[in-house]
Amino acid sequence: MDGNNHHPVARETERGVRYAILAAFVVGLRRRNPGAIVNALVAFAATYLPDAIEREYDIAFGPWQRVYSDAAMLTHTVGMLGPYDDVWWWDHLTHTHSATLLGGLVFVTARHNGRDPRPRVLAVVVGLGVVWELVEYTIHAVADRFGLEPILVSYGRSDILLDLLFDLVGAVLVLVFGDRFLRNLYRHAE
């Protein structure tokens, strides 16, 4: 089931997002920015996840859900080219956005299995947020140690705390709006 086949605007938007990510990849190559290059490749591949999930689980994402997911990949990729350093709220936006995607996945899985999503969404989003911050810090520290350009950047303790706060904001948004906006992804299991 492909929920995107009958939505040409969403399909064109997805294509445009992929082209924008590829453009960010090219800019990363020209700037010799390994963080931008690696993140663009990962983001580009991630734009195909909704298709794979639809095939594997016989569900259909709504057009807005596909665009929302792709937008998260694009904002993160573009952030690697400068906005993470230059735009004070960019990191907060991407953490909230990513947390809603992760929280949404946990929410849908819990509802599909007849479980209460609240403790699961909070635990997974906060738990993986902590793991992400540790990975980010480790990658940055190792790159610094060897004089390499890091593919992920850690900006210190206050940044870590803010990242976790905005991860939590994303989780809460999913808990408040999940049943309203994600029902199409678990409705058939009810």
pLDDT digits (tens, 9 = 90+) for 3-30: 445 578 888 999 999 999 999 999 999 9
Q: How far is CA 90 from CA 49, 93, 147, 151, 162, in A?
A: 24, 5, 26, 17, 12
Averaged confidence pLDDT in the chain: 91
DSSP state of 59: -
pLDDT digits (tens, 9 = 90+) for 41-76: 999 999 999 999 999 888 899 999 999 999 999 999
pLDDT digits (tens, 9 = 90+) for 126-155: 999 999 999 989 988 898 899 887 787 777
Over its C-alpha atoms, the chain yields an Rg (Å, rounded) of 17
Cα separation, 30 vs 27, in Å, equals 5
Q: Which residue type, as a one-letter code, is found at position 147?
A: G
pLDDT at position 97 over 60: yes
